[in-house]
Every structure is written in structure tokens, then in C-alpha cells.
Amino acid sequence: MKKLFYIMAVFAIILLVLYTYIGGFTAPEVAVITSQPIHMAGQPFEGSMKDEALVKAFKRAAEVLERKELKGMPGNIYYNNPEQSSDSLRAFVGVILPDTTAALPGGYEWRTVPGGRKVVHVEVNANVAIAPRKLYSALFDYADQQNLKLEEFYVEWFPASDRGVVEVPVK
């Protein structure tokens, strides 16, 4: 029985260290700021969050970056909150770039999010596997605490494998 306890304790410590390493205990930073323009090359998606086409869109963005077809960072625009719309998602999945001068890979198009808007800006140092959950929890908690109404328009990007950012305009 003691041996089982020690094995479970070691396993729990390993999990705790791993969770800490990937940013599980890192608190997101939240602020209301004026947004900057964002240029994104990618492809639109509309459908279920379980649709294979969405997975393919994310994989395509990763391949474009890996093959250096574009130099930027992975990013997404969500035009609705799928958790409030019965799993139906309207999105634009792709790569955020500094400007619109790059030649686009096949099947990609441009979207530009205008700057100069008041947005809730959330950043977190956490692995991309857990960053979205932390970003959106912090976003909605902050909006509730500050009595802010948010638009149904979410721009998220991942400047590094351990950093995530989301911005949502304030109504």
C-alpha cells in the first residue's frame, strides 16, 4: 500500500511540474487598449467545430509557416462565439503578417482588421494547448467585472509556441 502511495505521489509531482512548465499557473494579462491594424492571410471557414475542414485549415496555416511560404505567426478571426451558437463557427484561419505585400499561397486570401478601436486585449504565457482556454476565461471574466459589452468578433494569434493573445472590440 505504501508503494502505491509513493508511486501516485511521484506521478502527481510529475504532472504538477509539467502543468507549471506549460504555463498552467500563469495568470493572463488583461487591458483595454486601442487596437492596431492586423493583416491576415488565410482561408475562411463556416461550419461545425468538429468539421474536418477546420482541422485542415489549421494544419494548412502551420504548413505555410513551416515551409516559409509566409513569414508571420498563426492567427484566427472568429465572427461568432461557437459556445453560444450551437457549435456553428464562422472563422478565418491563417497567418498574421506585418503588411499585405506578400505573395499568397494557393487558396489564401487577405483580411485586414482595422485599427483604432477600443478592445479588450488579453495575453498569456502558456502553451498553445492551454492558452485559448486561459485567454477566453480571462477575457469574459474581465468583461463581466468591468460591465463591458463585447462584439462577437475575436482576433487571436500566437506570437510564440508559449504565448497567446486575443483582442475583442468593446461595443
> Would you state the cell numbers that stand for residue 107, as one nine-digit string?
487558396
CATH code where residue 47 lies: 3.20.80.10
Task: Look at residue 100 and give its three-state secondary structure.
Answer: coil
Element (H, E) at 23: none
- 0.75 cut: is pTM over it? yes
Q: What is the pLDDT of residues 56-104, one digit of tens each?
A: 999 999 999 999 999 999 999 999 985 665 678 899 999 999 999 999 9
Q: Residue 1 domain-assigned?
A: no
Q: Does 63 map to a domain?
A: yes
Query: CB–CB of 116/127 below 8 Å?
Result: no
Tally of domains within the chain: 1
For residue 55, being part of any structural domain is answered with: yes
